Structure 1
Amino acid sequence: MRRLRRRRILSGRRHRSDLPGADPAAPGIRAHGRRRGSVLAVQLLVMALFAALTARMWYMQVPMAEHYHELALASHTQKLIVPALRGRILDSHGRPLVRNRTELTVTADFHTLLNQDDDGAAVLRRVAELLDQPFEKLQKRVRLCGPETGRPCWQGSPYQPIPLAEDIDPRVALQIRERKSEFPGVSAQQMAVREYPNGDLAAQMLGYLQPITQEEFEAREELRAEFSGVDRVGRDGLEAVYDDRLRGDSGSRVLAVSSRGDVRGTVRATPPEPGMHLVTTIDTEVQQITEDALKSAVEKAQKQGKPTESGAAVVLDVRTGRVIAMASLPTYNPEVWNGGIDAETYEKLLSEDAGEPLISRALQGRFPPGSTFKPTTLAAAVESGAASLDGSYSCPGSIGLAGRSWQNFAGGGYGTISLRKAIVVSCNTVFYQLGNDMYHRFRKSDSKQSRRDPVSAMAHGFGYGEPTGIDLPHESGGRLPDRQWKREYWQDTREHSCKMAERGYDDVREENPSRAAYLEKLAREHCLVGDEWGASDAINRSIGQGDMLVTPLQLARAYAAIANGGTVYEPRVARAFLSADGKGVEEVEPVKAGELPMSDRTLNYIQSALTKVPKDGTAAFAFEGFPQGEVSIAGKTGTAAMQGREDSAWFASYAPADDPQYAVVAMIPQSGTGGVNAAPVVRKIYEGIYGFAPSGGGQGGDSGGSAPTEPALPGGEPPTALPSVRPDGSIAPPDDN
C-alpha cells in the first residue's frame, strides 16, 4: 500500500505537465524574458556609469583644471626663500658704519647626503678633515631641527643649502670645487655677512645680527614666508629697531621636485628687493673723538687709583635732538657675532668682570645727576614763588635742616650770594634751603595744592623720570623720586624691610657692627614709615642726590632744551632711508616732546649762569686756555655720591653759548669730581668738533700744546643735505649732491 502511494506521488511529480490546462512551452519563454531584461538593465547601468564618468572627467578637466594643477604642483614643488641684500648703515656724510662683505662658506645639500648609503657620513668626514673641524660638529649641523633635536641643528628648509663653515680659506674652497666627486652634495659659495669698518666704534648703537631661533619659527608661522635658514635678524641697536627696512623683501624660488626629493628644475622665481640704506645722524669723526676722550679720562682716573671702569658721553644737536655721537665704555667689536658666537665669548659680553660691554651706559646707565640737576631746582623754586631771581641767599658751609646738618662741598661758604652765583660756584646749602622751603610750603594736606610738587613737575617737564623716546632699544627711564614713587617703592619693598629689621644683618655685623646697626635702623624706619615723603627726601633731591637717577642721554636732552630756548626733543639716530637704486628717499623728521615749563626770564637767567661756570666757576680750571672768545661754552659740573662708592663725575654743557648748536655731556662713574674728571672730556670733544689746538693749560689739553687740527664739523654745523646713491650703487657724500 505504501509503495503504491509513493509511486503515485512520484508519478504526480514526474507528469505534472499532463495535468489539465498545462502549457508545455511556458517555462522556457519566461526564462528567456528574464535574461533579456537582465541584459538590458546591465546595459543601462553601464551607460549611466559611463555618462557619469564622462561628466566627472569633464568637470575635473575643464572647470577644476586650474585647481588640480595647483594641487599637483604643490605636491611636487618646494619653495625656497632667497634672502635680500641687507642695507648699509651710514653716518651723516655717507661714510659706512656697517656694510656687507662676502665670505666663502661651505654648504651641504641635505637630500644629496641623505641619498647616499651612509647618509653622507663619509663625505662629512672628508669635509671635517679638510676644514680641521670635528666630524660630530658637522654631522649635527646638517640635522633638521625638531622637538626632540638638540642644538646645533638646521632650522631652515631641507632644500636650502646648509652652512657647515663660514669664512673659509680660498684654498680650501678651491679643493672642494675641483674634487666634486669626493664631496658630492658639498659646495663652497660666497655669502654676504655684516662688516664693521670702524671696529668697535658706536657698537652699542649699531647692534648686531643673529639667526632666527626655532622657537620664533614655531611661535610665528608667517616667518617662514619671510626668512630662510641662513637669514639673520637685528638683535640690538639700529639693526633691531630698523630691521624690517634694512632687511628688504625676500625673494623666492619654486623648485620642481621628484617623489625621491630630486630637484628637476625651477618652476618660477621672484627676485629679492634689497634693503634700504639707513643714513644716521652720527658723525664718524665726532664719534671717534668722543670715544677717545672718554677712554683717556677713564685711563687717567685708573692711574690715579680710582676704581672706575666705565663711562659715557653724548653729543646732541640742540636744534633737532639728533644724536651726533654717543659713546659708552667698555665696548666691543660686533664682528664677534659673525658666523655664530661661542659660549665663552657670549658670557664675557654679559659678565660684570668684563664691564658688561653690551650695555650702553649712555641710555641704560642710571646715576645720580648731582649738581647738574640744580638748574631744575632753581626753575622750580622761581616758577612756584618759593624764590626770586632778584633775591639774595645765604651760602654757609653747612646748614641745619630736618634734624640734621647738611654740608657744602668741602665745607666752604660764600656768604650772601645771588642764585646765579649759586649755580656758578655750585653752592649746595642754597639749594638745600630751596628744597626744604618748597617741601614745607606745599606739603599741608588741607591745602588745595597738597599734591603739588614744584620740583617733580619741573623735572618731568625736563624729561626726567621717563624714557626720552630715542630710536634705540632697552632705554632706561631713570628715576624721579617724589611722593607717588616713594609710596609705590614702599609697597614693593616693605615686606623685605620688615623681615630684615627683625632678623638683623648678622653677616655685616661680624665685620662692621656699626654699619649693621645703621642698616637695621633704616630697615625699621622703612618698615614703619617708608611711604612718607619727608623733608630729607626733598632736600637731597634738590641737588640731584638721594634716590634721584638719570641717564646721560636724559641729561643731554635737558641741557639741549635749555640751550635751544625751551623745546624738548625726542632724540633720534635715524636721519633718512635711501633705496638701493637711489630713487627713494624717506627722511626721519625731528619729534618735539614738549616745552620747558618756565618763563623766558627764568630760562635766560639759567643760561646766563651756565655761561659763567667754565669761565669763573667750578669748570674754570678745566677750560683754562680754551678759546672762548671764538666758541663760548655754557655748562654745569656735577659730583654725585653713592653709598659705598667713590664720587662720580658729570659735566653737562652746550655751545656756542650765544648761538647754541651742540649739547655735550660726559659722565665717568667713581672717578672723582666733575670739574676735574668729566669737564676735560667735554673740552676735548669741543676741540675736535671745532678744530681747536689742545692747550697746555688746564685739564683739557695735552701738555705743551699742539698744532690746530682740521675741524670734525667744518663751519661748526652738521650737514643739512643727505648722502645719495650713485648709479653704480656707491654712496656720494652730501657735498657731491
Structure 2
Amino acid sequence: MSNIPETGRTPRVQVRLVIIQILVFSLLLTLGGRLWYLQIRNGKEYAEEAKSNNIQRVVQPAVRGAILDARGVPLADNETRLVVSASRTDLMKMKDDGKAVLTRLAGVLGMKPKDVMDKVRLCDSQTPKPCWNGSPYQPIPITDEATTQQALRIRESTEDFPGISAELTAVRRYTAPGKAKTAQVLGYLSPVTDEEIQKAKDSESPYLRSDQIGRSGIERTYDKELRGKAGVTSYEVDKVGRVMGQTQSDPGVPGSTLVTSIDARVQSVAEYELAQAMKTVRGETDKITGRKYEADAGAVVVMESKTGRVVAMASQPDYDPNAWVGGISGKDYARLTSKDSNYPLLNRAIQGQAPAGSVFKVVSASAAVRAGYDFDDKYLCSSSYSMGNRSFANFESQGHGPITLGDALKYSCNTVFYRLGHQEWNRDGGLKPKKDAHDWFYRTARDFGFGSETGIDVPNEVTGRIPDRQWKQKFWEANKDAWCKQGKKGGSYVEQIAYESCLEGNQLKAYDSINFSIGQGDVLITPVQLATAYAAISNGGTLFNPTIGKAVISPDGKSVEEIKPEAHGKLPVNAQTIKDLDKGLRSVVEPGGTAAWRFGGWPQDKIPMRAKTGTAQVYGKQTTSWFATYTDDFTIVMTISQGGTGSGASGPAVRNIYDALYGLDDAGNQDLKRALLPKPQSALPKVQADGSIDAPDIKAYDPKSQLVDPEKQKDGQQPLAGPPPHARTGD
C-alpha cells in the first residue's frame, strides 16, 4: 500500500482546473466574438437577408356560381379552357419590356403583335380599349381560345416565353339557351381594379387581385353571392424564390347558384319577336315623313302581374356577352360603344326613355277621378280641341261624341283628356298657381311610379321624367343662360322656342298640361315603369319592385335563400276605379277598340285580355310605338323607337308572345302541350350536392310550330318565319 501523502495530488488537480477554465473562457470568448461579428459588425447585412425571406400567396380563383332560369336552365355557367396569360411584372423586367416575347407569342397564337401588346397595357384616361383595367400584378389573359398544340409549344419552350403561362382555367360562359342571349339582363365580367381592391379592403367581401367582378346586369347585382371565395395558400420563400415552408392554407369556396325568374323559352320568344317586329316595320313607309321607319331600338318586358317577377326582358340592339370573356377585343369594344351600333350595351327596358303617348291615359283617367270627375260621366270626344289660336287634334282627327272615361280608353280619345288637363290647370290657378294647387295629373303620375326608379334588381335604372312645376323651375334654372344666348325673337322655330324659354321657361303653361294629359310634352317613361304600373292595375293596385333574382342556392344545394317580391307602393285610386280601368282596358281589345284588330280570335272568355295602344311623338324623330297589355297572370309591354303606331308595330309581336305563353293558335284554340308557360313558375330547380342541376332541354322558338329541333334550325332546314304583314291603323 502506497504511503504517498494527499498533498502530493493537489498541484496536479489545480493545474487541470486551470486548463479547463482556460478552455471554457476560450469557448465563451469565441462565441462572444462570433455573436459580435453576426449581430454588430455584419448585423445589418444579415437583417437585410432575413427580410428577403417573405410570404408569397398562391391564389386559386373560386369557381363562379351559375345563373339559372326559373326551371334550372343555365343562362351563365363556366367551362374549362386553355388560357394563355402574361405576367406584366416579369415582362417589365426585360430590357425591351417584353416586346420580343410578346411578338413570338403572337406568332404562336396566330395573332397580330400589336393586338397582343395592347392586351397587356394598362388602362388610363388616355389609353383606348383594349387595355388591362385589372391589377398590374395579376396575370393578364391574352386568349382563352388556345389550342392544345399552342399551349404545349409555350410550355415546352419556357426559355423563349418567360413570363408567359398556359393553363386550364374555368372561364365564364353565356350559354344562350334556345338562342336567348339575355345579354343586358345578365351583364358581363371584367377584372377588379386596384382602386376597387382598396375600397373593399375592410368590407365583408374584400377583393383579391385575381377576381373577376360583375360590371352590369345581375352579374353585378349579385356579384358577392356568385363570386364565392378564392383559395389562398401562403408560402415562406427566400430571396431567390425557394419555398422555405407553408404558413397557411385557406381552401376556396365556390360561388352560390342564382336562380332567376327568367324563363329561357319565353326569353327566346321575346327576343325573336321584338327583333322581327323591328325588321318588319323597317320595310314600311311612314306616311308623315315619307321615309321608311327606322325602328332603331326597342324593348319588351314580360312580367308576372301578381308578383312583379320578370319572366323575360329583351332589348334591341343586343350583343353577345361572351365578347367580354377573356378580355374584349378592340373591334368588339368599338362596336359595342359606338353611335353607329346605337349602343347595344344599354338595357332599353330600364334605360330607354321616351314620351308615353296614349298608354299614359290610365294615369290621366285616374287623375280625373281623384280630381272629382265621375268615371262613367259623359265627356266630349271631339275631333280637335282649341285653346286660343292653338288646336290640338284627336288621333286621325276622329270624334266619337260624348263618351265615358272607359270609352276614352277604348277609342284612345285625346280630346277628352285635353279638356280635363286644361280644366285642372285652370282650377289650380293657371300661370299663377294657388298655394294649395292639387296638380292631380302630375301627382297621380308620380303615385303611379313614373319619375322614379322601380327598384328593379339590375343596376343603372333611369327615373324617366314627370315635368311638374318643380321640375320646370329646376330645368329653367339649369338652362336659362343657354336659352337666352341661343334665343331670337322671330327667328327659326328652335330660336323662337329658346327665346320664349329664356323669358318664361319656368312657367307651367296651359299647353304643357294639355300635352301632359296624353303622355306628351316633356314627359319620359321607361318600359319597366309602364309594365309595373299596368301589372298593378291587374293585381288590384300593388306596385311591386320588379325582380329578376328569385333565389340564391348554396354550392352544395342545402341552403336556399328565396328572394321574396317586395312592394314599393299602391296605386292612388280605390278598388272601384281599378275595376273601371280594367273594364276600359278590356274593351280596347274588343270590337271597336284600337287593339281589337290584333286580338281577333282571342279566347276572351277563358283568358281575359286587357290592352292599351300608344303612339308617342318625338321632336325630330318618327313616332314611338307603345303597346301595354295584361292578363290575370302576365303583363307584357313593348316599345319600338321610330316604329310607328302602337298596335301597328308592336301589336303582332305581343300577340305572338301571348300565343306562345298560353299555347294558342290563330283561332284562339289552346293546346297546353304547346304552351310554354300557361301559369307562372312557382317551384325552384333542384341543385344536387355536387352542384349539378338536372336542367330541361331548351329548343329554339319557331312562330309556326313554337317548338322545333334546334339542330335542324341551325342547319337551315326549318327557317324562322316572321309575323304576318300588318296594316297601319289604330293608335
Do they fold alike, i.e. is TM over 0.5?
A: yes
Distance 1:152 1:366, change over 3 A: closer
| RMSD (Å) for aligned C-alpha atoms | 3.6
Q: Does 1:354 align with 2:341?
A: yes
The aligned runs of 1:129-168 (5 Å cut-off) are 129-133=107-111, 156=135, 163-168=141-146
Contact 1:363–1:475 (Cα < 8 Å) also in 2 = yes
Distance 1:394 1:721, change over 3 A: same
SS of equivalent to 1:724 = coil
Task: Supply the AA of the counterpart residue of 1:678.
Answer: S
Task: Supply the AA of the counterpart residue of 1:533.
Answer: L
Q: Does 1:88 align with 2:74?
A: no
Q: Does 1:684 align with 2:656?
A: yes
Distance 1:208 1:111, change over 3 A: closer
The alpha carbon displacement at 1:642 in A equals 1.3
Task: Name the counterpart of 2:643.
Answer: 671
Task: Supply the AA of the counterpart residue of 1:646.
Answer: Q
Q: Does 1:710 align with 2:674?
A: yes
The alpha carbon displacement at 1:718 in A equals 1.9
Task: Supply the AA of the counterpart residue of 1:166.
Answer: D
Pick aligned residue for 1:599 from 570, 574, 587: 574
The alpha carbon displacement at 1:224 in A equals 14
Larger Rg: 1
**2: CA distance between counterparts of 1:314 and 1:139?**
42
The aligned runs of 1:324-473 (5 Å cut-off) are 324-385=311-372, 387-443=373-429, 450-473=436-459
The alpha carbon displacement at 1:351 in A equals 1.6
The alpha carbon displacement at 1:728 in A equals 3.1
Distance 1:179 1:496, change over 3 A: closer
**2: CA distance between counterparts of 1:122 and 1:540?**
66
**1: CA distance between counterparts of 2:404 and 2:122?**
75
The aligned runs of 1:12-161 (5 Å cut-off) are 75-107=53-85, 126-133=104-111, 156=135
Q: TM-score, normalised by structure 2?
A: 0.81
The alpha carbon displacement at 1:518 in A equals 2.2
Contact 1:365–1:551 (Cα < 8 Å) also in 2 = yes
**1: CA distance between counterparts of 2:432 and 2:482?**
33
Q: Does 1:299 align with 2:275?
A: no
The aligned runs of 1:723-734 (5 Å cut-off) are 723-732=685-694
**2: CA distance between counterparts of 1:675 and 1:360?**
23
Q: Does 1:277 align with 2:257?
A: yes
Q: Which digits, 9 at most, give the CA deviation of each residue in 1:110-154, with x for residues without a partner?
A: 898899999988766654432234567767877999999999579
Pick aligned residue for 1:542 from 499, 512, 517: 517
The alpha carbon displacement at 1:288 in A equals 0.8
Contact 1:200–1:332 (Cα < 8 Å) also in 2 = no
**2: CA distance between counterparts of 1:432 and 1:149?**
53
Distance 1:402 1:216, change over 3 A: farther
**1: CA distance between counterparts of 2:600 and 2:396?**
22
Q: Which digits, 9 at most, give the CA deviation of each residue in 1:212-268, with x for residues without a partner?
A: 234444666669994444431111111111111110122211122111233455433
Distance 1:732 1:402, change over 3 A: farther
Task: Name the counterpart of 2:683.
Answer: 721
**2: CA distance between counterparts of 1:500 and 1:146?**
36
Distance 1:284 1:465, change over 3 A: same
Contact 2:133–2:191 (Cα < 8 Å) also in 1 = no
**2: CA distance between counterparts of 1:148 and 1:412?**
58
Contact 2:183–2:321 (Cα < 8 Å) also in 1 = yes
Task: Supply the AA of the counterpart residue of 2:608.
Answer: S
**1: CA distance between counterparts of 2:516 and 2:251?**
60
Percent identity over the alignment? Answer: 41
Higher relative helix content: 1
Q: TM-score, normalised by structure 1?
A: 0.80
Contact 1:253–1:268 (Cα < 8 Å) also in 2 = yes
Task: Name the counterpart of 1:530.
Answer: 505
Contact 1:142–1:154 (Cα < 8 Å) also in 2 = no
The aligned runs of 1:546-561 (5 Å cut-off) are 546-561=521-536
Mean CA deviation greater in 394-403 or 567-576: 394-403
Count matched residues.
648
Distance 1:263 1:529, change over 3 A: same
**2: CA distance between counterparts of 1:346 and 1:140?**
13
Task: Name the counterpart of 1:234.
Answer: 214
**2: CA distance between counterparts of 1:314 and 1:226?**
35
Task: Name the counterpart of 2:496.
Answer: 521
Task: Supply the AA of the counterpart residue of 2:381.
Answer: C
Distance 1:488 1:431, change over 3 A: same
Task: Name the counterpart of 1:17.
Answer: none
SS of equivalent to 1:652 = strand
Structure 1 gap segments, 5+ residues each? 1-42, 58-68, 505-513, 698-704
Task: Supply the AA of the counterpart residue of 1:364.
Answer: Q
Task: Supply the AA of the counterpart residue of 2:662.
Answer: Y
